[in-house]
Structure 1
């Protein structure tokens, strides 16, 4: 049982560090590029993961948050979905109002043109009958 633990514990630590390194954004990896950290974690079985956790990653959330790691200890720093953002919803309402106004202007212009065409047809039709 103890022999299994001797192999499973470092393996679990390596797998956890490997997944953590892969999920870390490139700009949060310290001292080395992320690819170098992946090789260190995989090649140096016990020491690599320990060094990664000790010195390889920024442990403070970036200012302003980011996606997909925008949840830091159950604290949301940015909007998750557009329908949760009041600024986005307001912009949709404003855009809808502009579209409605534009549509009304087009409809009024269309009615004016149709009326103008009817007047021309009526004028041309009465002019032909009197000749």
Structure 2
């Protein structure tokens, strides 16, 4: 049973790696051309997928977190004048 689970996990990893290579934008693939990455992943399933994940996969550019609100944007509900006006109106029963 353990062998079947390991085999399924390896198959899933291989398929994930293959689809990841295929769907990666050509201009963002690193180190070698995309067609060569497809061949590497197909011909050397486990090792090719690992190499793809470490050396070929496009780097994800992430914004710093948390992203501060832009100028003119309220930071919270209590900083939003429209929200406070609406809340005051609802509290007075003017719905």
TM-score computed with the length of structure 1 as normaliser: 0.45
Residue 9 of structure 1: aligned partner: 9
Q: Distance in 2 between the 1:42 and 1:54 partners? A: 16
Structure that is richer in helix per residue: 1
User: Runs ≥4 in structure 1, deviation > 6 angstroms?
Assistant: none
**1:19-46 Cα distance to aligned partner (Å, 9 max, x none):** 1111101011111110100111111111
TM-score normalized by structure 2?
0.60
Higher RCO (Cα < 8 Å, 6 or more apart):
2
RMSD value, Cα: 1.5
Aligned length: 62
The correspondence of residues 1-131 of structure 1 with structure 2, limited to 5 A, is 1-61=1-61
Structure 1 unaligned spans of 5+: 63-131
What are structure 2's unaligned runs of at least 5 residues? Answer: 63-95
